[in-house]
Amino acid sequence: MILTLKPKSTKKDIDLVCKKIKELGFKPHISQGKEVTIIGVIGPHAILKKDIFESMDAVAFITPISKPYKLVSREFKKNDTVVKVGNLQIGSRNIIVAAGPCSVETEELLVTTAKVIKNSGAKMIRGGAFKPRTSPYAFQGLGEKGLKYLYGIKKNLGLPVITEVMNVSQVGLVSRYADVIQIGARNMQNFDLLKKVGKIRKPVLLKRGLSATIEEFLMSAEYILSEGNYDVILCERGIRTFETATRFTLDLNAVPAIKKLSHLPVFVDPSHGVGVRDYVPAMCKAAVACGADGLMVEVHPHPEKAFSDGPQSLLPQQFDKMMSELKSVAKAVGRKI
């Protein structure tokens, strides 16, 4: 439930309401607007205590939240959330493209890739140092060495880094090097990991699970917000269907659906969604057209030699062409790239 406080409520009023919320065993989540302060009362069956809050002087009115996710919902926050990463504003008019190899392989390759993507207009570098692979015999990532290479790109080329964390014990290490922490599709319901990244003060990009419904996806984001980290970017990356011509089925329905249900920014990752290099540009355009706030795209200068996901990685020239074509699509929907 949401408590909307009377205009001109003081800090003392807010403290008093928060104290009552805690006394009753719930968590307060304050959202301070220019005119009014609203406080989310989060916890099971909070609505049953509605009368207690109604009788408080500072409370103007109470709104129940009908969805199982609360902090993530549009009901809780009407305006779009903008996640700041350095100078970038994710969820604003500007569409942000994060690009790079699937895995960090060698420093030289990473630097080459970073230069070409930056030159084509990408604003962030992506690359896995810890890789969730289907086979235990496949390349598992360079670990900390890979994180250091990524950090070097940020320092030398100014591209913020987005990279994956696979388990709770890696969170401290990865957040020392990364600007945005990625939670992979296979970990979308690793609730301990979600709680852990909810406690840090770094933006999190949460990927949709291979078979997760939109509601389950939003419930996972709720875990992160409920621990106090409000900087969450949701990423649609394709779901499992009966189709085998593509690696997954990129569910672009999720973009307008999530935009309606939640205030959080939405990225789309067509590389994993389709799994076929030649289909990626068309789906990037479609993602921008349907309202995505950003894209995550795999690019590799020699995809035939890539340690992972070569078949879906764009060649630098394909990426460059796509980036210029995206400009007019973005313009057509009132955005900028």
Interaction with ligand PEP in 13-72: which residues (CB under 6 A)? Answer: none
Interaction with ligand PEP in 266-305: which residues (CB under 6 A)? Answer: 272
Q: How far is the CB of 126 from Mn ion (least distance, A)?
A: 9
Contact stretch for ligand PEP (CB under 6 A) within 26-34, 42-50, 167-175, 179-187: 179-187
Binding partner of 237, given ligand PEP, Mn ion, none, CB within 5-8 angstroms per partner class: ligand PEP
Residue number with the smallest Cβ distance to Mn ion: 102
HEC sequence for the chain? CEEEECCCCCHHHHHHHHHHHHHCCCEEEEEECCCCEEEEEECCCHHHHHHHHHCCCCEEEEECCCCCCCCCECCCCCCCCCEEECCEEECCCECEEEEECCECCCHHHHHHHHHHHHHHCCCEEECECCCCCCCCCCCCCCCHHHHHHHHHHHHHHCCCEEEECCCHHHHHHHHHHCCEEEECHHHCCCHHHHHHHHCCCCCEEEECCCCCCHHHHHHHHHHHHHCCCCCEEEEECCECCCCCCCCCECCCCHHHHHHHHECCCEEECHHHHHCCHHHHHHHHHHHHHCCCCEEEEEECCCHHHCCCCHHHCECHHHHHHHHHHHHHHHHHCCCEC
Q: How far is the CB of 46 from ligand PEP (least distance, A)?
A: 33
* Residue closer to ligand PEP, measured from CB, 121 or 132: 132
Q: How far is the CB of 271 from ligand PEP (least distance, A)?
A: 8
Binding Mn ion by CB under 5 A: which of 85, 236, 309, 330?
A: 309
Binding partner of 29, given Mn ion, ligand PEP, none, CB within 5-8 angstroms per partner class: none
* Residue closer to ligand PEP, measured from CB, 37 or 170: 170
Interaction with ligand PEP in 80-139: which residues (CB under 6 A)? Answer: 102, 128, 132
Residue number with the smallest Cβ distance to ligand PEP: 184
Interaction with Mn ion in 216-255: which residues (CB under 5 A)? Answer: none
Q: Does 184 bind ligand PEP (CB under 6 A)?
A: yes
Please report, as ranges, the residues that interact with ligand PEP according to CB under 6 A.
Answer: 102, 128, 132, 184-186, 207, 237, 272
Site for Mn ion, rule CB under 5 A: 102, 309
